[in-house]
Amino acid sequence: MSDILFIMSIKQKSVTYLEISANKAGQRIDNFLYTHLKGVPKSHIYRILRTGEVRINKGRIKPSYRLNANDVLRLPPIKCQTIIPKVPNANRLTELANATLYEDDLILIINKPSGIAVHGGTGINGGVIEGLRVLYPKAPSLELVHRLDRETSGCLMIAKKHSMLRRLHNLLRCGEIHKQYLALVQGHWKPRRTQVNAPLRKNVLKSGERIVRVSPDGKSAITQFSIERQFATTTLLKVKLLTGRTHQIRVHAAHVGNPIAGDNKYGNDSFNQQMRHDYNLKHLFLHASKLDIDLPEIKYHLSIEAPLPPSLQQVVNNLDVKI
């Protein structure tokens, strides 16, 4: 059978059965459904998974279940209006077209601009993946390998083939894709503080906003920090993630008393206002600066660096002047 035989319509009136091809093997069922049930809210997808309306080989599965080749997927009747994903405006498309750091037949790596979400959603006029699908009409299998917060800039991986997506997801699960970030934080970072190990718990407010807090009953979260530059009242840090929790760097930095400059969710309002007034910092100073990929089984090795965007580089230049 083809990779997927189901096309979302306004109403699916009967149960549908799909056979999963080898190209889809390894993908999480929730991500598969979110991609292919265009217009169906995530809340509805998780509900039909939780209630057992979605089944694999006649059995109930969890959202974390990973598809296998030849799995038979049962989809219940769907009553949900199809929503055509919004596309970023012309200026954003131009920005994305000029953001390429590396490209081959398997992967695209861009220097994601700050201020654009990786994918569209409620109240968002299109994201990175929607824009790239417009820019790459001959690459129908484009998929995000991972995510960056909307205000975070830097290296973002997009797989061009499902086989590469599976390989990269396996590396991410094993912590074998090495990612480095640059973050400007408030105050002087203690040189001996090379690691923050504090469990994180994610809460979703009624508005849908996600808030992450350090909590004893949270998930394990470990972040490594090292000083890149010390300024009069701020510190530029190199950061490496040993786990990949939502907002991990931002919450860990704030937890130890050194919030990231420009962080409107976890940061210090008066510090952010000062940085905006004195240094024209208009958004979060967190940048995914480098990543290393090693896939020896296919002799594939990459080391990619993303330069700071001009707006953040100018902040650093101005901080240099005032030392």
Q: Domain boundary at 58, 79, 100, which?
A: 79
CATH number for the domain spanning 25: value is 3.10.290.10
Provide the token pair at 61. Answer: 């599965």
Of 173, 202, 218, which one is at a domain's C-terminal end?
173
Q: Is residue 138 part of a domain?
A: yes
List the beta strands (DSSP E) in the chain.
Answer: 11-12, 16-19, 55-56, 59-60, 72-75, 78-79, 100-103, 107-112, 143-144, 153-159, 178-186, 195-197, 200-204, 210-214, 222-230, 234-241, 286-295, 300-305
Q: Is residue 120 part of a domain?
A: yes
- Domain assignment of residue 49, given as a range: 11-79
Closest C-alpha among 270, 25, 35, 249 to residue 152: 249
Last residue of a domain, one of 123, 146, 173: 173
* Same domain, yes or no: 185 and 166: no
Residue 296 belongs to a domain: yes
Q: Are residues 94 and 204 in the same domain?
A: no
105 is annotated as an active-site residue:
no
- Res 2: pLDDT: 33
| 84 located within any domain | no
Both 216 and 148 in a single domain? no
Domain match, 245 and 141 both: no
Helix (H, G, I), strand (E, B) or coil at 317: helix
Active-site residue, from 3, 30, 71, 149: 149
Q: What is the CATH number of the domain that holds 231?
A: 3.30.2350.10
Amino acid, res. 189:
W
DSSP 8-state assignment for residue 28 = B
Residues 297 and 317 in one domain: yes
Are 195 and 311 members of one domain?
yes
C-beta of residue 283 within 8 angstroms of C-beta of residue 311: yes
Cα–chain center distance at 154 = 11
Total count of domains within the chain: 3
Please name which of 6, 35, 40 lies closest in space to residue 20, comparing C-alpha atoms.
Answer: 6
Q: Clarify whether residues 140 and 185 are in a common domain.
A: no
Same domain, 161 and 57: no
Dihedral, 104, 105, 109, 112 alpha carbons, nearest 10: 120
Task: Profile the chain (323 residues) by mean pLDDT over runs of 10 residues.
Answer: 34 77 84 79 87 93 91 83 66 92 96 90 72 90 92 96 90 90 97 96 80 94 97 97 94 98 96 96 97 93 96 94 67
Pair 304, 213 in one domain: yes
How far apart, in whole angstroms, are the C-alpha atoms of residue 256 and residue 266? Answer: 12
269 and 167 part of one domain: no
- Predicted confidence at residue 238, as pLDDT, reads 98
262 and 233 in one domain?
A: yes
For the whole model, what pTM was predicted? 0.78
Do 182 and 103 have their domain in common?
no
